[in-house]
Amino acid sequence: MAANGSGGSRAGKSSGRGERDLRVRVKTAKGRKLSSKLWLERQLNDPYVARAKREGYRGRAAYKILELDDKYRFLVPGARVVDLGCAPGGWCQVAVRRVNALGEKSGKPVGRVLGLDLQEVDLIAGAEIHLLDFLSEGADDKVKDWLGGTADVVMSDMAASSSGHKGTDHLRIVALVEAAAALALDILEPGGTFVAKVLAGGAESDMQTLLKRNFQKVANVKPPASRRDSSEKFVVATGFRGRRESVEADDQPD
């Protein structure tokens, strides 16, 4: 996917005044906080937001998983996918199309898409949405029961609620990624893929060690759709080896 998307348009000439400035400005309404004004202005000028509306995705985040999959090719027809914290559903929408969950690609295997969240999510054609706290006891067994077996992909675009305290937020994000990885290790099929939002530096050292022990390849990447001023990156771990409990000498990080 091109970083600029296809949402931009060229401005036309206007009465000899040169090209018109089409950048949308949002005036600060009485009582509107500056942060809200800046957020709204950014949304209105974001080509990914406009593109998502045109292409029927529930948010610009859909393009993050599209771009990651374009590079690493894990959402293949027939794959069984679990999306943790799936609201509002953009990642599920992408997965449905790419794994052929609706059977629209003739002659290709039909995949499964399972979305999990703590809140209600509007129905998505081709996806099964369940209200579930994936941190709860027995969650992995429930997921495997719903899938009728193991998963080929576990993915997560979850972000912990901000407390406003950088150190606290850091710990929350780390804990969330660790919990998502723990579930992935319990439910993934050998050869499977784990994708999750992490911090700007990539997965923490302990997480890198865990993933390198259990997957053939581990990459930390920032897809073009991720905003430049965002501190997020994504870890993409491919080629699940099957859970390995002990750390051997050759498992240490490079």
Q: Catalytic residue numbers?
A: 197
Asked whether residue 117 is marked as a ligand-binding residue, the answer is: yes
Asked whether residue 157 is marked as a ligand-binding residue, the answer is: yes
Asked whether residue 133 is marked as a ligand-binding residue, the answer is: yes
Q: Which two tokens stand for residue 112?
A: 């499964």
CA distances 170 to 35, 52, 183, 211, Å, are 22, 29, 20, 19
Asked whether residue 169 is marked as a ligand-binding residue, the answer is: no
Asked whether residue 251 is marked as a ligand-binding residue, the answer is: no
What residues form the annotated binding site?
Answer: 89, 91, 117, 133, 157
What residues form the annotated binding site for S-adenosyl-L-methionine?
Answer: 89, 91, 117, 133, 157
